[in-house]
């Protein structure tokens, strides 16, 4: 083995980026916790969603075929959709090196799903105490169980099948911290149920359609079935919440939507892989940003967020202007139910 090859292998050593050595992190949180002494249903639709959540609980240990063999360096996702295909640094790699980078990219993506699900687990548990209706507390309880299961399955897949866990992306971490530490309950809904869960649903849907590995595809389908309810929980709970809100308070929500959307867009630009490989980060991000595959994927990620914001009356002129710059306004009338039906989430 040449010196260059040993150096490359060292860079792409999964143990070097293993998450098991990171310390426990604590952040300060403060929000009002509400008793709800009225126990009959007071929010239309939430009791039905709660009943659906109870019917659709699943045991990840027995439902998924964990004995399925997975080669972490196989083409789990088609190489044709790799946004690095147009980057000179990637083109100079030999086939073995490209396979290792592909492994790194897959592990990175699923690691972010894993970290995002832990954030969702924390927020769901906060909502049990924060929401002001008993039906919402019931449902938030089921979502907490869902999110624990999602952390479990992504952690198991990343550790056992890919054998490579990445640290959390700094932009995703910033956004999760903002939602977890926010004191207002509707911001927690807005940040997690509408924005982060909406983005995740689109990312999961895209991966489900193109995934070549059967265990991961089945895992994603079950997770998406839960996540579709979580987004509906946010929409039902926030319906009419912003109808007569004071302009100054509405402006706070607009600021948060714009801030969160820009953060989510920035985290997808390939900086983590550039740092791993020692490539010029700015150059890699420019290539990724101009990749037709990436541009389509980035836009599709917001396909579920924009129409739900419109339903809530939050696609205001300020938000529209920001979304014009992100080129995602085209999705304001996207048919989410049809998209779910296409992949079997709505019968």
State the pLDDT at residue 292.
82
State the pLDDT at residue 9.
54
State the pLDDT at residue 20.
45
List the pLDDT tens digit at each of the 347 positions of the chain: 334 344 445 555 655 554 445 678 999 898 999 999 998 867 778 999 999 999 999 999 999 999 999 999 999 999 888 888 878 999 999 999 999 999 999 999 999 999 999 999 999 999 999 999 999 999 999 999 999 999 999 999 999 999 999 999 888 999 999 999 999 999 999 999 999 999 999 899 989 999 999 999 999 999 999 999 999 999 999 998 999 999 999 999 999 999 999 888 776 667 889 898 999 998 988 888 888 877 777 777 889 999 999 999 999 999 999 999 988 898 999 888 888 888 777 64
Domain presence at residue 204? yes
Cα–Cα distance for residue pair 291/293, rounded to 1 Å: 5
Q: What does the block give as tokens for 307?
A: 């129409």
Cα–Cα distance for residue pair 291/280, rounded to 1 Å: 17
State the pLDDT at residue 14.
57
Residues spanned by the domain of 188 = 43-56+83-342
Largest CA distance in the chain: 72
Domain presence at residue 52? yes
State the pLDDT at residue 2.
39
Domain presence at residue 76? no
CB contact at 8 A, 334 and 304:
yes
Domain presence at residue 118? yes
DSSP string for residues in 275-317: HHHT--HHHHHHHHHH-HHHHHHHHHHTTTHHHHHHHTT---H
Q: DSSP assignment, residue 233? A: H
Answer left, alpha or beta for residue 35, where phi above 0 means left and psi between -120 and 50 means alpha: beta
Contacts of 99 (CB under 8 A, 6+ apart): 73
Domain presence at residue 270? yes
Domain presence at residue 229? yes
Domain presence at residue 35? no
State the pLDDT at residue 301.
83
Q: What is the domain-level CATH number for residue 286? A: 1.10.620.20
Q: What does the block give as tokens for 144?
A: 């907490």
State the pLDDT at residue 22.
61
Domain presence at residue 21? no
Q: Domain tally for the chain? A: 1
């Amino acid at each position: 083995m040449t010196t260059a090859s040993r150096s490359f292998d060292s860079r792409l050593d999964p143990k070097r980026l293993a998450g098991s050595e990171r310390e426990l992190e604590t952040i300060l949180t403060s929000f009002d916790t509400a008793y709800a002494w009225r126990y009959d249903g007071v929010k239309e639709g939430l009791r039905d969603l709660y009943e659906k959540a109870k019917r659709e609980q699943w045991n990840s240990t027995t439902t998924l075929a964990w004995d399925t063999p997975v080669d972490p360096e196989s083409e789990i996702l088609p190489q044709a959709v790799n946004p690095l295909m147009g980057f000179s640094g990637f083109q100079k790699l030999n086939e073995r090196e490209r396979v290792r980078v592909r492994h790194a990219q897959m592990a990175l993506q699923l690691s972010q799903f894993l970290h995002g699900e832990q954030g969702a687990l924390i927020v769901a548990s906060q909502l049990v105490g924060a929401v002001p209706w008993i039906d919402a507390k019931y449902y938030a309880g089921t979502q907490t169980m869902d999110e624990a299961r999602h952390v479990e399955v992504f952690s198991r897949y990343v550790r056992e099948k890919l054998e490579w866990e990445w640290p959390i992306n700094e932009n995703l971490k910033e956004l999760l911290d903002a939602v977890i530490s926010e004191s207002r309950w509707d911001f927690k809904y807005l940040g997690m149920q509408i924005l982060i869960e909406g983005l995740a649903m689109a990312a999961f849907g895209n991966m489900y359609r193109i995934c070549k590995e059967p265990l991961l595809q089945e895992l994603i389908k079950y997770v998406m079935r839960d996540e579709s309810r979580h987004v509906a929980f946010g929409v039902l709970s926030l319906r009419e919440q912003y109808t007569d809100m004071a302009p100054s308070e509405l402006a706070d929500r607009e600021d948060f939507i714009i801030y969160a959307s820009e953060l989510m867009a920035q985290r997808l630009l390939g900086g983590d892989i550039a740092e791993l490989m020692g490539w010029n980060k700015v150059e890699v991000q420019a290539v990724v940003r101009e990749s037709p595959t990436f541009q389509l994927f980035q836009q599709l990620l917001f396909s579920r967020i924009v129409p739900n914001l419109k339903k809530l009356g939050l696609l205001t002129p300020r938000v529209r202007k920001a979304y014009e710059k992100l080129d995602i306004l085209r999705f304001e009338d996207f048919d989410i139910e049809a998209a779910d039906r296409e992949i079997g989430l709505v019968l």
